[in-house]
Structure 1
Amino acid sequence: MRLALVHARFQLLETIRIPIALVGSAFFPAASMLFFVVPFAGDDPVAATYATASMVTFAVMSTNIFQYGIGVAEDRAQPWDPYLRTLPAGAAPRFAGRILAGLLMTVFSLLPVVVIAAVGTEARISGPAFLAALGTTVVVAVPFTLMGLAIGYSLPSKAAIVVAQVLFFPLAFGGGLILPPGSSPGFIEAIAPYLPTRGAAELMWAAVGDFRVNPTALVMLGVWVVVLAGLAGWAYRRDEGRRFS
Structure 2
Amino acid sequence: MSLALTHARFRILETLRIPVAVVGGAFFPAASMLFFVVPFAGDDAVGATYATASMVMFAVMTSSLFTYGVGVAEDRAQPWDPFSRTLPAGPAAAFAGRVLSGLTFMFISLIPVVIIGAALTAATASPWQLLLALGAVVLSALPFTFMGLAIGYALPTKAALAVAQIIFFPLAFGGGLLSAPGDAPGFVETIAPYLPTRGAVELVWAAVGDFEVSTTSMVALAVWTVAAAALAAWAYRRDEGVRFS
- The normalised TM-score by structure 2 is 0.99
Percent identical among aligned pairs is: 69
1:219 equivalent to 2:225? Answer: no
1:187 equivalent to 2:187? Answer: yes
SS at match of 1:88: coil
Structure 2 Cα separation of the partners of residues 204 and 52 of structure 1: 10
Match of 2:231 in 1: 231
1:156 equivalent to 2:156? Answer: yes
Shift, 1:218, TM fit: 0.6
Give matches, 1:50-69, under 5 Å: 50-69=50-69
The residue type paired with residue 160 of structure 2 is: A
1:75 equivalent to 2:79? Answer: no
Match of 1:106 in 2: 106
Structure 2 Cα separation of the partners of residues 158 and 92 of structure 1: 26
Match of 2:145 in 1: 145
Shift, 1:69, TM fit: 0.1
Deviations 1:151-186 (A, max 9, x none): 000000110000001111111111110111111100
SS at match of 1:203: helix
Structure 1 Cα separation of the partners of residues 65 and 192 of structure 2: 19
Match of 2:33 in 1: 33
Match of 1:198 in 2: 198
The residue type paired with residue 112 of structure 1 is: P
Match of 1:118 in 2: 118
Shift, 1:210, TM fit: 0.7
Match of 1:173 in 2: 173
SS at match of 1:210: coil
Structure 2 Cα separation of the partners of residues 102 and 222 of structure 1: 21
Structure 2 Cα separation of the partners of residues 122 and 205 of structure 1: 16
SS at match of 2:210: coil
Structure 1 Cα separation of the partners of residues 167 and 27 of structure 2: 18
Match of 1:49 in 2: 49
Shift, 1:234, TM fit: 0.2
Match of 1:243 in 2: 243
Shift, 1:38, TM fit: 0.5
Structure 2 Cα separation of the partners of residues 120 and 208 of structure 1: 18
The residue type paired with residue 80 of structure 1 is: W
SS at match of 1:178: coil
The residue type paired with residue 228 of structure 2 is: L
The residue type paired with residue 146 of structure 2 is: L
Q: Which runs of 4+ in 1 moved over 4 A?
A: none
Shift, 1:48, TM fit: 0.4
- Pairwise CA RMSD of aligned residues? 0.6
Structure 2 Cα separation of the partners of residues 115 and 209 of structure 1: 18
The residue type paired with residue 126 of structure 1 is: S
Structure 1 segments unaligned to the other structure (5+ residues): none
Structure 2 Cα separation of the partners of residues 103 and 226 of structure 1: 19
- The normalised TM-score by structure 1 is 0.99
Range 214-223 or range 14-23, more displaced: 14-23
Structure 2 Cα separation of the partners of residues 136 and 201 of structure 1: 9
